[in-house]
Amino acid sequence: MKTPANPSVTNASVGTGNRVDDMEPPDGDARFLPLTGKNFRFRCHRDIACFNRCCAALRLILTPYDILRLKRRLSLPSYRFLDRYTTTVTDLDNRFPRVRLRMDDNAGKTCPFVTPGGCAVYEDRPGACRIYPLGRASASSPGREDANEKFFVVKESHCMGFQEDREWTLKEWLEHEGAAEYNAMNDRWLNIITSSKRLGEGDLIRKHQMFFMASYNLDRFRAFLFGSRFFDRFDVTPERKKQLQDDDVELMKFAIEWLQFSLFGEKTMELIG
């Protein structure tokens, strides 16, 4: 079956927790139902009556990997993508700033990437859009590199995709939607924002600025690395420096290591001398 051109996305499709038993649907949202049994039924296509209704009035939080894929798809530097398509969110419930996709300023508050034919950035759509109609909650455990995870079915009242005749297992759906790379990259970063560790010594405002740059503005982070004396202070091999210069994914991985070091004092980097 051809991948649907327009997967839906809920206003809150990913939850995170610090322990596996904390991983519940966001805010007890009644639309999120436990994924029970082996199969679920869903299909989205252009001829379905609700097509494109899901891509409006979203409160979609973007992860660093979402931004990396979208800015690369649009051939934009990070700062220009952030200025044009996002809003920064700060609140008391989250100690780090988050980035939300900005809806178009029209009556329907539609996603900036939706078209009458579906999603214009489908191959690089955000992770939350990618796994809909499922929601995923993940949490890290000490001593484990992989995340624990739970999945939920997101049943929104307008969505008629559940009445279609296509059945999926969880494994089939995640493979079909190419979710593995997104989940792996996102979990690296989620380990930081869900960490219960105290921030280390130093200026908290500066730490939050560093978090924002290293998380969301990769091009500026690259300029920081190569335009400062960073490599005079930290032991980075020539091979890895070349990767950081040329490869955004490797740069993102390095940025996460830097945040673990600079925010929490974790031994993810080696000082020279």
In tens, the pLDDT along 236-258 reads 999 999 999 999 999 999 999 99
Indicate if 213 and 235 belong to the same structural domain.
yes
Q: For residue 200, what pLDDT is reported?
A: 73
The residues, any chain, with a CB within 8 Å of residue 249's CB and separated by 6 or more, are: 68, 185
Indicate if 174 and 215 belong to the same structural domain.
no
Total domain count, the chain: 2
For residues 175 and 215, the answer to whether their CB atoms sit within 8 Å is no
For residue range 40-95, list pLDDT tens digits in order.
999 999 999 999 998 999 999 999 999 999 999 999 999 999 999 999 998 877 88
Nearest-angstrom CA–CA distance, 171 and 151: 11
- Alpha-carbon dihedral 163, 166, 167, 170, rounded to 10 degrees: -100
Which helix or strand (DSSP H or E) is residue 176 part of? Answer: helix 170-176
Residue 18 has pLDDT above 60, yes or no: no
Residue at 220 is within a domain: yes
Q: For residue 156, give its domain range.
A: 14-193
Indicate if 20 and 102 belong to the same structural domain.
yes
pLDDT band for position 149 (50/70/90)?
A: confident
* Strand pairing report for 134-139 and 14-16: parallel
Residue 4 has pLDDT above 80, yes or no: no
Nearest-angstrom CA–CA distance, 101 and 118: 17
Residue at 100 is within a domain: yes
Domain termination site, one of 193, 219, 241? 193
Domain termination site, one of 164, 193, 222? 193
Domain termination site, one of 169, 193, 217? 193
Nearest-angstrom CA–CA distance, 216 and 194: 17
The residues, any chain, with a CB within 8 Å of residue 247's CB and separated by 6 or more, are: none
Q: Report residue 120: phi and psi, to 5°.
A: -80, -15
Nearest-angstrom CA–CA distance, 236 and 219: 19
pTM above 0.75, yes or no: yes
Q: Count the alpha carbons within 13 Å of 153 in the hemisphere toward its beta carbon.
A: 18
Residue at 43 is within a domain: yes
